[in-house]
């Protein structure tokens, strides 16, 4: 009798598309909550790794140029814990490196190599040449060039606001017990950092190329 009732209930679900859809969504949502929720309360996924520092004004603008030009479509910033990836790129990525990375730049496709540990691996001159004409440095590269970045001055009109938002929204300040002594300072200190960007190139301001290279050069340099 119980088997028959169970079979009838199963048939009801199978024959009712709407009910099956609702139950499917519920099951997936419940499973996702069970998997994801505990991560929000673990220090190793919410606490910055030792030595991590927030982006300065120049690097912040470089990050936005990286996003604007769609670099994340071809480059990931997530080294998986597999032997071949670790041997090629370095230490596998850990969550504490990305706690301040909004939007995250893990990526989902590698037309080009992973960039999670590219910082300080090449010189600024190498990056400059590669971004202007990739095939002049890597003959087999299919990456497009970005020569206009070298001739475009960084617009810093919103840089201070960006730094303030990151500081206040994500509590990136020296008083936060999760990362004592690290983070952004006062508005005056942030503005002084912005002025350093404006003072580059004999007061003409940093170029977008310089900003992007500064961003690339700090990637992965925090994890020892």
Q: Which residue has the higher pLDDT, 17 or 192?
A: 192
| Sequence ranges of the domains in the chain | 2-41, 50-218
pLDDT reading at 172 higher than 90 = no
Residue 201 pLDDT:
97
* Residue 1 clears pLDDT 90, i.e. is over it: no
pTM of the entire predicted model: 0.80
Percent of the chain with pLDDT over 90: 60
Residue 117: what pLDDT?
Answer: 95
Residue 6 has pLDDT above 70, yes or no: no
Query: With helix as H, strand as E and coil as C, how does 193-223 read?
Result: HHHHHHHHHHHCCCEHHHHHHHHHHHCCCCC
CA distance 104 to 37: 18
Q: What is the mean pLDDT of residues 78-90?
A: 94
Which has more pLDDT, 32 or 82? Answer: 82
Model pLDDT for residues 41-65, shown as the tens digit of each residue: 666 667 788 888 889 999 999 999 9
Fold of 50-218: Cytochrome Bc1 Complex; Chain D, domain 2 (1.10.760)
pLDDT digits (tens, 9 = 90+) for 130-168: 999 999 999 999 999 999 999 999 999 999 999 999 888
Q: What are residue 133's phi and psi, to 5 degrees?
A: -145, 90
Q: What is the CA radius of gyration of the chain?
A: 23
Mean pLDDT of all residues in 121-132: 98
Tell me, what's the pLDDT at 133?
98
């Amino acid at each position: 009798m119980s088997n028959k009732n169970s079979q009838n209930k199963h048939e009801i679900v199978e024959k009712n598309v709407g009910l099956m859809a609702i139950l499917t969504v519920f099951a997936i949502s419940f499973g996702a909550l069970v998997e994801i929720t505990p991560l929000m309360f673990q220090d190793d996924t919410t606490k910055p790794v030792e030595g991590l520092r927030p982006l300065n004004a120049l690097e912040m603008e470089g990050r936005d140029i990286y996003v604007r030009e769609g670099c994340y479509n071809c480059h990931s910033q997530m080294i998986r814990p597999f032997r071949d990836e670790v041997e090629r790129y370095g230490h596998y990525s850990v969550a504490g490196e990305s706690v301040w990375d909004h939007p995250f730049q893990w990526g989902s496709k590698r037309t080009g190599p992973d960039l999670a540990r590219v910082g300080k691996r090449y010189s600024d001159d190498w990056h400059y040449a590669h971004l202007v004409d990739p095939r002049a440095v890597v003959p087999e590269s299919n990456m497009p060039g970005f020569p206009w970045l070298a001739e475009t001055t960084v617009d810093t009109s919103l840089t201070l606001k960006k730094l303030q938002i990151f500081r206040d929204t994500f509590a990136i300040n020296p008083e936060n017990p999760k990362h004592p002594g690290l983070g952004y300072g006062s508005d005056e200190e942030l503005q002084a950092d912005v002025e350093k960007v404006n003072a580059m190139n004999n007061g003409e301001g940093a170029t977008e190329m310089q900003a992007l290279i500064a961003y690339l050069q700090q990637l992965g340099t925090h994890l020892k």
